[in-house]
Amino acid sequence: MLIDLFLDYLRTERNYSNHTIVGYGTDLKEFQMFFTGMDKELDWETVDSDIVRQWVMSLMSTEKNGLHMQSSSVNRKLSSLRAFYRFLLVRGHVKMNPVSKVKGPKRGKPLPFFLRESEMDKLLDQVEFTEDFMGCRDKMILEMFYSTGMRLSELIGLNDVDVDFSASWIKVTGKRNKQRLIPFGDELREALLIYIKVRNETLPVRMSNAFFIRKNGDRLYPALVYNLVRKNLSKVTALKKRSPHVLRHTFATSMLNHSAELGAVKELLGHDSLATTEIYTHTTFEELKQIYKQAHPRA
C-alpha cells in the first residue's frame, strides 16, 4: 500500500516522530476515502487537481461543534498530501503531482479583542479606585490608553514635557522612534490635571521627568502596567485577553463605531499601513453581523 510505504519512509529515512507519522497517515487516508467515495475507479495515479480542490472545499465547509475547520488545519492536510505526492513522483509511482497547482486557503488574521463601550463606562465610572496616589494613577493609566490608543511602550516613555495643555495634544514616541501627536478633549484634560496635582503633592521632589511614575518616583516598567490593567479589566469583562493592547483595540473600535475615518484612526494609532488599521473595520462588521443574527427574525 502506497501510504504505508510513505509512512515507513518518514519513520526510517526521515526519523519523524510517531505523532507526526500518525498525523500524515490520518490526512492521507481521509483524502483516499474522499476520492474513492466520489468514484471507486479512482486511484493515486488518476486523481487530478480538480479533485484535490474539491477536497479542500469540502474541508472548509465541514462543521464541528458549529465551527468550520480553520484554514491552518486545511493547509496542514494539504501539506501532507503535497509531501506524499512528491514521494510518489520520486519513486515513480505516479507521473504527475495534482497538488502542485492547488493553493490552500489564506490564513485569516485573528480579530482583535476589545471591550464594549458599556464595559469601559463601567470601568471608568463605577469601579472604585482608592483615593490615594496609586488609585489615581491606575485609573489615569486606563483612561489614557482608552482615550488615546497609545501603546504600552509609548505610555511608559511619556514625559511631562510631552503633554501640552495649551495645544491639547500629547506627543508620543512610537516604533522606530517615530513621533506623533495625539489630541485630547476636555474630559481627559480634567483627569490629567487631577493626576498631576495628586502626583506632585505625593512626591514634590522627583528625580525622574516621567509623566507616570511609581511610588518611589521612578518610571513605570511594562510588567507593572500590564498587571494593573489586567487586574482592573477583570472587574468588567470576561475576555481571555486583558492587556494594555486590548485598550488600544478598544480605542480604535470605538472611534470607527462613531464614524471616524479610517485614515484618521491610522494616524492616531501610528500605523505605517492602512491595511493594519483595516482589521478594525472587520471587527465592527463582525459586531454588526452578531447584532443582525440576534435581532432579525429570519437571520
Which are the catalytic amino acids? 151, 175, 245, 248, 271, 280
Which helix (H) or strand (E) element contains residue 68?
A: strand 67-68
Which helix (H) or strand (E) element contains residue 52?
A: helix 49-61
**CA dist., res. 109 & res. 282, Å (int):** 10
Beta bridge partners, 68, equal 63
| Beta-carbon count within 10 A of 154 CB | 25
Under 8 Å between Cβ of 99 and 82: yes
Under 8 Å between Cβ of 248 and 151: yes
Contacts of 277 (CB under 8 A, 6+ apart): 252, 262, 265, 266, 269, 271
| Beta-carbon count within 10 A of 119 CB | 17
Closest CA to 277 of 291, 295, 264, 294: 264
Under 8 Å between Cβ of 7 and 24: yes
